[in-house]
Amino acid sequence: MRAALAIVGLSISAACLYGICHDLVTAHLCPAYFTVGHPPVFPTADPVLLALGWGVIASWWVGLLLGVPLACCARLGPGPQRSAGELLRPIGLLLAAMAACALLAGVIGHVAARNGAVFLTGRLAERVPRAEHVWFLTDLWAHLAAYGAGITGGIVLCAVTTIRRRQAAGRR
């Protein structure tokens, strides 16, 4: 049980670390993404404080949602059990893939917004200063891509962990 909790803890910690690093970039690009586009949890517009707070609030649960099934895939059933230490590299690769997807999507979103292909509408368009619309959309695309890549990559990581354990069990 302790080993499974270590995997869950690693997943939550990795998600929070990623979230903070990601938000350090995006909060500096457009603080309004956090101050206008999110519920008012922190009475600050400081990008570093926003990144620290939202990096944890918006990420810990993703780590939990990955960590529980990953711990099950790594510890339950046939084959050699995997430890948190053995999952460090695969989780690190997942975070790197998420960052790459976020960067690519952010660039695409930025170009699309600058060219008028995507834009803010309604109440959000009114509340976000016009000069920040492009950067707001840049942040939005980067965040959506990171979540999408994290969810998809988490499922793949669970599947690969299960397959490798089964393959190892067959070699015994």
* CB-based contacts of 75, cutoff 8 Å, min separation 6: 3, 4, 7, 81, 82
pLDDT at 172: 54
Average pLDDT over residues 5-20: 98
**Closest residue by Cα to residue 69 from 87, 93, 53, 85:** 87
pLDDT at 170: 81
**Closest residue by Cα to residue 102 from 17, 19, 13:** 19
Task: Give tens-digit pLDDT for 111-165.
Answer: 999 999 999 999 999 999 999 999 999 999 999 999 999 999 999 999 999 999 9
Mean pLDDT of the chain: 96
Flag whether pLDDT at 79 surpasses 90. Answer: no
Domain boundaries, the chain: 2-171
**Closest residue by Cα to residue 137 from 29, 47, 25:** 29
pLDDT band at 42 (very low <50, low <70, confident <90, very high): confident
Flag whether pLDDT at 37 surpasses 70. Answer: yes
Percent of the chain with pLDDT over 90: 94
Percent of the chain with pLDDT over 70: 99
Flag whether pLDDT at 57 surpasses 60. Answer: yes
